[in-house]
Chain A
């Protein structure tokens, strides 16, 4: 009799369909069109980078969990997502070992050393990208011109180097080019069509919440509208809202990276704060720092603030009253 009366903590309803594996699988599905676009624009080397990154991320997770005698959780697909996202953050002419090193750093250094899935305090793929950027800045420069459709075209290492859309003073890209993805950049960030498609898929299946991507993108839009005053015009070059929204890693960051469950707030208001914070930081880094793009650093910064945001936006338990400040009472 006693046992039946035990009251456990909320939540009482469990959605048994929403397993980690299912969620990660849907993220992988949402990322596949972008992977195809990456190969379409950047050719065989992009395919090689994606394969190497995914395989080494899964291998890193498997090896680490075997070595430390932990249950092997490779089948939950989270390592596949990390590998894919990391590959999308590499330039097309990156050597294969950059993808492998990045995956190992992401899985072992940033995820497993902090306790595995659910314990990492930063998005593994993004943190690994930051390490790669700071270590091999030259190799991480995203300045390979895409060659749409030419599958077999060899990527000439160090041969083509052009200004990316966000390099200061660059103007030579039309809005359609930016949207379609025919611009130099990291292999997975250029094609906005497939990224938005994946985002809509995730929203429809309620894998991600609308708050972070929408508030993130809206904040950037508002910030650039205040700065430039134009929504879009050919003459203004890069100095208009739409050009900035469609450049760099904003879309992939807002849809796929900032929405990572582990490293984003759980409350609704918290998610809005996270999105707005990312947007403001992105604007600040793009405009006032020596880096042309700051999406990854903006998200990483807000990742670190996530526990704090959660703490201050937590919901009030039913019937809970805030204790009066005794000092105030004494005064009255």
Chain B
């Protein structure tokens, strides 16, 4: 019998333990491509969260009906449905965001975060847990891509969400907005997050040892 998962731990797992960008390094294509402005980052994150939650929901509902052999095409059909919904909604209500994200909205279909959660979680767990997992993973993705795009927009443009933050004398570092800047910035963020999580684990272990003694 598997250990029972609590909603809380499943939700937090998406944000911290298995954060799709900083822990699993999934979905790198949209992460690097659209994280040049905070607005785009948030938009991409929320669009992906929407698709994740609903595709997890439907796949968890259908998990006992879908035959194992054709599960991958079935997942893709489900995911593509919700991506189409997001695509059309954005076009109708936030055309500016739809325009700036461009091809990366339809490309959510092949985003490996969504596919990985469908395969690894939703097809094996109850509906409620799957929705929680989708929400956690989606928010983890949104927070991470927003953080990355905030760093890039701040350095590359001196602004946050379009508002001037840096002093007027600041000369923007244009490379931060270009593809190599995306890779470099992602690497630096990964470094900071890995180093600090290592330090936290170390401190926790030291505390546990102290408590034992």
Contacts and interface: CB of A to CB of B under 8 A. Distances in A.
Interface of A: 109, 113, 131, 134-137, 139
Contacts of A137: 174
B162 interface: no
Contacts of B24: none
Given A109-B184, A113-B191, A131 B175 contact: yes
Interface in B54-77: none
A136 B174 CA distance: 7
Contacts of A109: 184, 188
Nearest to A134: B175
B180 A134 contact: yes
B178 interface: yes
B197 interface: no
B16 to A, nearest CB: 24
Nearest to A136: B171
Interface of B: 171-176, 178, 180, 184, 187-188, 191
19 contacts: A109-B184, A109-B188, A113-B187, A113-B191, A131-B175, A134-B174, A134-B175, A134-B178, A134-B180, A135-B172, A135-B173, A135-B174, A135-B175, A135-B176, A136-B171, A136-B173, A136-B174, A137-B174, A139-B171
Contacts of B188: 109
The majority secondary structure among interface residues of chain A is: helix
B58 to A, nearest CB: 43
A80 B187 CA distance: 26
B19 to A, nearest CB: 22
A137 B177 CA distance: 14
Nearest to A113: B191
Contacts of B178: 134
A137 B172 CA distance: 11
Nearest to B171: A136
For B171, B172, B178, the residue with the greatest tally of chain A CB atoms inside 10 Å of its CB is B171
A131 B174 CA distance: 9
Contacts of A139: 171
Nearest to B156: A135
Contacts of B174: 134-137
Given A109-B188, A135-B172, 12 more contacts: A109-B184, A113-B187, A134-B175, A134-B178, A134-B180, A135-B173, A135-B175, A135-B176, A136-B173, A136-B174, A137-B174, A139-B171
A205 to B, nearest CB: 37
Nearest to A98: B171
A131 B176 CA distance: 10
For A113, A131, A135, the residue with the greatest tally of chain B CB atoms inside 10 Å of its CB is A135
A224 B24 CA distance: 50
Nearest to A108: B188
B62 to A, nearest CB: 46
A65 to B, nearest CB: 15
A66 B106 CA distance: 47
